[in-house]
A = this chain, B = another copy of it.
Amino acid sequence: MENFIFQNTTKLIFGKNTVKTIGKELSKHGIKKVLMVYGGGSVFKNGVFDTISKSLIENNIKYTELSNIKANPVISKVYEGIELFRKENADAVLAVGGGSVIDTSKAIAAGLGYNGDVWDLYENKAAVKTEIPVFTVLTISATGSEMNGNSVITNEKKKWSVSSPQLFPKFSIVDPSVQFSLPLNQSVNGAVDTMSHVFELYFDRTEENEVMDEYSEGLIRTVMKNIQIVIKNPEDYNARANLALCATLALNNSNGMGRQGGDWATHNLEHSLSAFYDIAHGAGLAIMFPAWMKYVYRENIKKWVRFSEKIFGVNYGSEEEKAIKGIELLKEFYKKTGAPVSLREVGIPEEDLEKLSENALLRGPFGNMKKLDKDDVLKIYKIAY
């Protein structure tokens, strides 16, 4: 097991009918006016906007709105948010939505504390330092952003991330029942995203971290079981709650303890996809993960053997056969949920693979299980094609 430091200060308020506590909770922090950031119409359809607005008014908290945040959120909305926040003299950012909304909100908070272009922080030119608190009401479980300090923003074709303890939300409210009305593909993408976060941490070379391996395997099995229930019955509360909690735990650092920081190559490969095409992050990950695994599994075959055994109960064949079988079964599972499993089926032209590879490598070779250069990356995109 590797040495590590863990701290996660976010207060997680989880369960049915918790959204209406927002005003009271913000009051505890002395908040008088928030910049409320949200996406499109879903917060009106699921009633979350009304519930929040009522609760804020009841608690004498003013709000101003930044709406229309899209998937793969862009830097221009961050600039807009920073300006609006200053103009309106708000004292906190309230994210109401999924990962894109939360990441935008964190970027706004980070930008408000930085005397320069907020994009510098994503370019690692300066460190995040901000006093502006972020609070969240989560409406789509997927990215885990509700309980970590990460923010991923797209600027032109660069989809880059920043991470800072200062960007942990002060609290996050997660009511799984507001996700009943999510479109099926968004629920599936969320589940894939969650599994992918676990994979990034799980597939490493750490010696004997049994407790984290067990934990990760439990998360993966739980997601696989419960997304199948949700596909059949989108209003199954316990299944939604399990998915929501797994999404939060998968990327709140709790399952990275004593590990090597994760691989993250596949996220890089995917970020390049969604920088160019209108493809959901989860969908891109469903395509890229099995391809990456096929390319690198021999780097630590025992881990993939374990994966096959513990996740799919594969108990026959050579190490090689077991490892391959697990990867195939994962791909089959994704297919069964309706997630895409090839670049071809989402309409990406084969001649773009070269361009995608170049983009993925803008910041040089990446990956821990195997350091990937241009040649490797192109090969993986070809496997994924």
Contact = CB atoms under 8 A, between A and B. Distances in A.
B9 A4 contact: no
A16 interface: yes
Residue of A11, A207, A208 contacting most chain B CB atoms (<10 Å): A208
Interface stretch (A33-41, A184-192, A221-229, A279-287): A221-229
A47 B218 CA distance: 38
B14 A245 contact: no
A6 B225 CA distance: 24
A254 interface: yes
A123 to B, nearest CB: 28
A15 interface: yes
A57 interface: no
Contact of A258 (B5, B18, B245): B245
A214 interface: yes
A208 B222 CA distance: 11
B1 A5 contact: no
B241 A1 contact: yes
B10 A4 contact: no
Given A257-B14, A258-B14, A209 B242 contact: yes
By secondary structure, the A interface counts as mixed
Interface in A5-29: 5-18
Given A210-B225, A218-B214, A11 B4 contact: no
A238 B14 contact: no
Contact of A7 (B11, B212, B249): B11
Contact of A221 (B1, B7, B214): B214
Contacts of A249: 211
Contacts of A211: 218-219, 222, 242, 245-246, 249
Nearest to A12: B6
A12 B254 CA distance: 11
A215 interface: yes
Contacts of A217: 214, 218
A321 to B, nearest CB: 24
A32 to B, nearest CB: 23
Contact of A15 (B2, B13, B225, B226): B2
A3 interface: yes
Given A242-B209, A245-B257, A11 B1 contact: no
Nearest to A165: B11
A211 B237 CA distance: 14
Nearest to A220: B214
A211 B214 CA distance: 12
Nearest to A1: B241
A210 B227 CA distance: 12
Contacts of A10: 7
A368 B218 CA distance: 26
Contacts of A210: 222, 225-226, 242
A118 B6 CA distance: 31
Interface of A: 1-18, 171, 207-212, 214-215, 217-219, 221-222, 225-226, 237-239, 241-242, 245-246, 249, 254, 257-258
Nearest 4 interchain pairs by C-beta: A3-B15, A214-B218, A208-B238, A7-B11
